[in-house]
Chains A and B, each alone.
Chain A
Amino acid sequence: MATKKDITQKILDLFNKNAEVVVRKFFVCEKHINLFFIDCLINKELFASGIIGGINKLEESKGSKEKIIDKLEKELIAVSTIKRIKEEKEIQEEIFNGGVIIQIEGEEWLLAVNTAGYSKRAITEPPTASVVRGPREGFIEDIETNISLIRRRLKTPSLAIKRLTVGERTNTSIALVYLDDIVNHKVVKELEKNIKSIDIDGVIDSYYLEELLTKSSSKFFKKLGNTEKPDVLTAKILEGRVGIIVDGSPIVLSAPFILFEDMQSPGDYYDIPQRTSFVRFVRFVGLILAILLPGMYVALQSYHYRVLPINFLISLLSSIEGISFPPILEILFVLFLFEILNEASVRMPKQLGMALSIIGALVLGDTAVQAGIITPPSIVVVAISGITLYIIPNESSEASLLRTLFTIVGGVAGFYGIFLGFIILATHLVSIQSYFAPYMAPYAPSVDIDKKDGFTKKPLSYMSTRPQSLRIKNIIRQRSKTKSQGGNADGVN
């Protein structure tokens, strides 16, 4: 970087003559000073009062023997974080991250001032994880805000944040967040290794990472947890998991992940344990119904009608009389119809939602029944299965596919097919591991101590340990089991 012109040109060349990169030129203390930045990425107020103000102040100390770069650095240190750089990659990174690069004539080093100030969404309650009681904050698309939401909850020096970058063109920032004295360091190393090995042009959302961090042999079931709520991630980090925050995504990942995590909802921890246990039982039954009910209905109707009570069988036979399609085709048709309505309702403008439900449920459903294409029991079966599918929203994609698969299997091989399919599914699930943790823990392998927050939830005072199945360093969560005595201070009731 020899002459002023050369440097300016070189910096501009780094951005491929990108018109968005603005150059502001000053002549202060008989030196040319150039500022490089992208207008839409910086905080203008900070820029005007902090940086321009700082440069103007240089005139006041004109007689000083101190170098301009040192004087300016001292002035701007109060404005924002500032560092000296000279590598091309650093210059690019700083400018794309909303920084201002200050180049002073005759200086080898450049100053990079962090003035990031692009517009971002406000912190709101996430639509997929609303709670009746409990924190309502949700993550947003900005990584710094998301980290601050965690940092605010975990005021401990052991909270470690490891930063990485992924994506050749997007240069997406990623932060691994964990408690250094609790986490299993093998998990952190493995995650770091896997993230560094990703060679992709861009990472748009955390889902990219979720898929890229899963081995190809078993991609059907997700191996990383996800949440939109900082309180949930904080709880996971406290249990010894690693949070993976991806810039540009409000969904934060966590590892290791066990299947049972999806049975737990944020609301479970802000309600009485008895109610939580009951709700978890309902969720489990719901999941089973969502996956198996249509298949079982087809199997019962096609092969095993003798299983049904005689009165029910008579009423069922009368309702399916005159239907020309075999049960499997009928159910698959209704499932297909359901998926169409589901897709349409997601993409359709909200104002048309009412019209869709009228057309879908009343006109289509009723007319199809009257026309003898489908039967009322099949609609009931698919409706129950469809509703229960969303009891565990995180599992709905896998469950929806499994439901279709079990329906086909039930139609082809009856209970025999469902029975064998279920065993294959269970065998596959018990063989999966997510970052050194068994996927079906705490039930397979059985870890008694972790079952306190399993199908049934014990009161918080009983949960004195962190999940053992995660193989973490520090298992102790509460040192003394403090039960409420319900009495007054001196222990007399």
Chain B
Amino acid sequence: MELTKRQALFLITICFVANKVQRLPSLVSSALGRHGFLVFFAMGVIDVLFLLLALLFNKNNRGKTTYQICKTAGGKFYAKIIYVLLGIYYLANALLPYEAVHDLFANILFDFLSWETYSLVFAITVFFVANRRLKNIGRLGEIFYYTIALSFIVLLVLGATTTNYQRTLPFADLEAKMLIDTCLTYSLWFGDFLIIYMIVGKVKEDGKKLGWQIILMYSICVIVISFAYIVFYGLYEHLSPSQNSLISSISQFSLLNLEIGRIDWFFVLFFQIGTVVASGVYLHLASQSFQEVFGIKDKKYIVLVLVALIYIADIFVFKSIQEGVSIIAFISKYFAISMILFMPIILLITEIVANKKTLKKYNFDKYQILYQKNKQPQKEPRKELKEKEAVSE
């Protein structure tokens, strides 16, 4: 078993939070303004609902991985298709934290930073993390979880004490179509529960399956992130779309800063550890998916190729944040939302089929064994007995 339940829980939480409090709030605010929190809430609720399906899948996995389940249900080809889709989804998600770190360091913390060069250092770091075993990434998550959580809380409190909540009122004068459109456009930032499909069968569950803890944690995160958006919009109002990242700007107006300097930047940095971990997790999962698809034994080469792809995408494709966002939005609208809405259902059906097939095979095998036993000729009576019988006669 690769992960403990706690590690799995921490990794999913880190991945969930790390992506959503960077560039996303500013993008959402440009589309929906003060109603942006509804995107976080609505997508969060959808995530929780589909998370239930993922947990159900995990509950009935009978110790098998998703690949094995898919293979049993629909054969090798079917399993590979599922894994290609999951792999692409994870890879796209690995790009988001990468972009967030780019944003923070190249645009906020440094006056001038040659990102083409420094991005390489980041790529090496992400490679270093993603190339580890899942249990080591889990341990990394375990070490930093409380630091990341504490940093986020401190930054949120600093922002929450200075924001103007009236700017987010009134709450619900919004057309449903606009909300749905925005949800679809930024759906790639959601659906972190899909991580579960790659850790199925690898979590040490000690009799009890992943369950209510993950639902509770996920629900709390949805509420906290929706609240973070409200704080962010209350602080910047119409200027929100021009902010690079929620996490680096939410504490900017805290009065405390005047006394002790921008100490909050240290918390921003601590929080960004989560971003690297998230990027590492997604890349690791993507590499695992492609490893199964292509049957390559050494994961290192796949991780290397994927990191190179991300680096190329970051430097040459997403030349500006706007360009990057429009490409990501395109991926979101058609691919990510389909993954979130249909993949859990497809996989659940696959699992039911796989379990039925397994049961059928088990029954057949059992029958075969019984049949073979009955088919065996009965032993001839021993010679002595035969002789005795003859004497008595």
Binary interface profile of A, 436-458, with partner B (CB < 8 Å = 1, else 0)? 00101001111000000000000
Which of B58-66, B121-129, B194-202, B316-324 faces chain A? B121-129
Which of B180-188, B259-267, B367-375 faces chain A? B259-267
B127 CB, min distance to chain A CBs, angstroms: 10
- Asked if residues A444 and B140 are in contact (CB atoms below 8 Å), the reply is yes
- Asked if residues A446 and B269 are in contact (CB atoms below 8 Å), the reply is no
Q: Given that A423-B273, A423-B276 are known contacts, is A446 also in contact with B142, CB under 8 Å in the complex?
A: yes
- Asked if residues A424 and B125 are in contact (CB atoms below 8 Å), the reply is yes
Decide yes or no whether A126 CB sits under 8 A from chain B: no
How many residues of B are counted as interface, with CB atoms below 8 angstroms from the partner's CB atoms? 37
- Asked if residues A426 and B132 are in contact (CB atoms below 8 Å), the reply is no
Decide yes or no whether B4 CB sits under 8 A from chain A: yes
Task: Give the residue of A306, A420, A446 whose beta carbon is less than 8 angstroms from that of B125.
Answer: A420
B235 CB, min distance to chain A CBs, angstroms: 19
Q: Given that A424-B128, A445-B7, A446-B6 are known contacts, is A303 also in contact with B109, CB under 8 Å in the complex?
A: yes
CA of A424 to CA of B105, assembled, Å: 18
Decide yes or no whether B143 CB sits under 8 A from chain A: yes
Decide yes or no whether A220 CB sits under 8 A from chain B: no
- Asked if residues A309 and B261 are in contact (CB atoms below 8 Å), the reply is yes
B148 CB, min distance to chain A CBs, angstroms: 12
Decide yes or no whether A415 CB sits under 8 A from chain B: yes
Q: Which residue of B lies closest to A306 (CB)?
A: B262
Binary interface profile of B, 142-158, with partner A (CB < 8 Å = 1, else 0)? 11100000000000000
Decide yes or no whether B355 CB sits under 8 A from chain A: no
- Asked if residues A416 and B105 are in contact (CB atoms below 8 Å), the reply is yes
Q: Given the complex, which residues of B lie within 8 Å of A414, measured CB to CB?
A: 109-110
Decide yes or no whether B346 CB sits under 8 A from chain A: no
Binary interface profile of A, 405-435, with partner B (CB < 8 Å = 1, else 0)? 0000000011111011011101110110000
B253 CB, min distance to chain A CBs, angstroms: 15
Task: Give the residue of B110, B138, B143, B262 whose beta carbon is less than 8 angstroms from that of A426.
Answer: B143
Task: Give the residue of A304, A420, A438 whose beta carbon is less than 8 angstroms from that of B265.
Answer: A304
Q: Given the complex, which residues of B lie within 8 Å of A303, measured CB to CB?
A: 109-111
Q: Given that A444-B139, A445-B142 are known contacts, is A423 also in contact with B125, CB under 8 Å in the complex?
A: yes
Decide yes or no whether B223 CB sits under 8 A from chain A: no
B161 CB, min distance to chain A CBs, angstroms: 19
CA of A415 to CA of B113, assembled, Å: 12
Task: Give the residue of A422, A423, A424, A443 whose beta carbon is less than 8 angstroms from that of B142.
Answer: A443
The interface size bin for chain A is 20 to 34
Q: Given the complex, which residues of A lie within 8 Å of B254, measured CB to CB?
A: none
Q: By DSSP majority rule, is chain A's interface helix, strand, loop, or mixed?
A: helix
CA of A275 to CA of B128, assembled, Å: 39
Decide yes or no whether A285 CB sits under 8 A from chain B: no
Q: Given the complex, which residues of B lie within 8 Å of A422, measured CB to CB?
A: 273
Decide yes or no whether B136 CB sits under 8 A from chain A: yes
Q: Which residue of B lies closest to A432 (CB)?
A: B136
- Asked if residues B265 and A430 are in contact (CB atoms below 8 Å), the reply is no
Q: Given that A431-B132, A444-B139, A445-B4 are known contacts, is A307 also in contact with B272, CB under 8 Å in the complex?
A: no
Q: Given the complex, which residues of B lie within 8 Å of A446, measured CB to CB?
A: 4, 6-7, 142
Decide yes or no whether B364 CB sits under 8 A from chain A: no
Decide yes or no whether B77 CB sits under 8 A from chain A: no
Q: Given the complex, which residues of A lie within 8 Å of B266, measured CB to CB?
A: 307
A418 CB, min distance to chain B CBs, angstroms: 8
Q: Given that A304-B265, A307-B261, A427-B136 are known contacts, is A416 also in contact with B113, CB under 8 Å in the complex?
A: yes
Decide yes or no whether B334 CB sits under 8 A from chain A: no
- Asked if residues A419 and B273 are in contact (CB atoms below 8 Å), the reply is yes
CA of A426 to CA of B266, assembled, Å: 18
Q: Given that A430-B139, A430-B143, A446-B6 are known contacts, is A420 also in contact with B129, CB under 8 Å in the complex?
A: no
Query: Which B residues between 261 and 299 are near A, CB-CB below 8 angstroms?
Result: 261-263, 265-266, 269, 272-273, 276-277
Q: Given the complex, which residues of B lie within 8 Å of A431, measured CB to CB?
A: 132-133, 136, 139
Decide yes or no whether A308 CB sits under 8 A from chain B: yes
Q: Given that A416-B105, A416-B110, A423-B125 are known contacts, is A443 also in contact with B259, CB under 8 Å in the complex?
A: no
CA of A446 to CA of B5, assembled, Å: 11
- Asked if residues A423 and B143 are in contact (CB atoms below 8 Å), the reply is no
CA of A416 to CA of B125, assembled, Å: 11
A337 CB, min distance to chain B CBs, angstroms: 29
- Asked if residues A423 and B129 are in contact (CB atoms below 8 Å), the reply is yes
Which of B105, B111, B260, B265 has its CB near the most chain A CB atoms (within 10 A)? B105
Q: Given the complex, which residues of A lie within 8 Å of B301, measured CB to CB?
A: none
Binary interface profile of A, 319-351, with partner B (CB < 8 Å = 1, else 0)? 000000000000000000000000000000000
Q: Given the complex, which residues of A lie within 8 Å of B142, measured CB to CB?
A: 443-446
Q: Given the complex, which residues of A lie within 8 Å of B105, measured CB to CB?
A: 415-416
Binary interface profile of B, 235-266, with partner A (CB < 8 Å = 1, else 0)? 00000000000000000000000111111011
Q: Given the complex, which residues of A lie within 8 Å of B259, measured CB to CB?
A: 309
Which of A422, A438, A440, A444 has its CB near the most chain B CB atoms (within 10 A)? A444
B142 CB, min distance to chain A CBs, angstroms: 5
CA of A430 to CA of B11, assembled, Å: 15
Task: Give the residue of A308, A313, A413, A438 whose beta carbon is less than 8 angstroms from that of B139.
Answer: A438
CA of A82 to CA of B163, assembled, Å: 87
- Asked if residues B139 and A440 are in contact (CB atoms below 8 Å), the reply is yes
Q: Given the complex, which residues of A lie within 8 Å of B133, measured CB to CB?
A: 431
Which of B7, B261, B276 has its CB near the most chain A CB atoms (within 10 A)? B261
| 19 A-B pairs whose Cβ atoms sit less than 8 Å apart in the complex | A303-B111, A414-B109, A415-B105, A416-B109, A420-B125, A422-B273, A423-B125, A423-B129, A424-B128, A426-B140, A427-B132, A430-B140, A431-B133, A440-B143, A445-B4, A445-B138, A446-B4, A446-B6, A446-B7
Which are the 6 A-B pairs with shortest beta-carbon distances?
A444-B139, A309-B261, A430-B139, A431-B136, A420-B125, A444-B143
Please give the residue numbers on chain B whose beta carbons come within 8 Å of chain A beta carbons, in ascending order.
4, 6-7, 105, 109-111, 113, 118, 121-122, 125, 128-129, 132-133, 135-136, 138-140, 142-144, 258-263, 265-266, 269, 272-273, 276-277
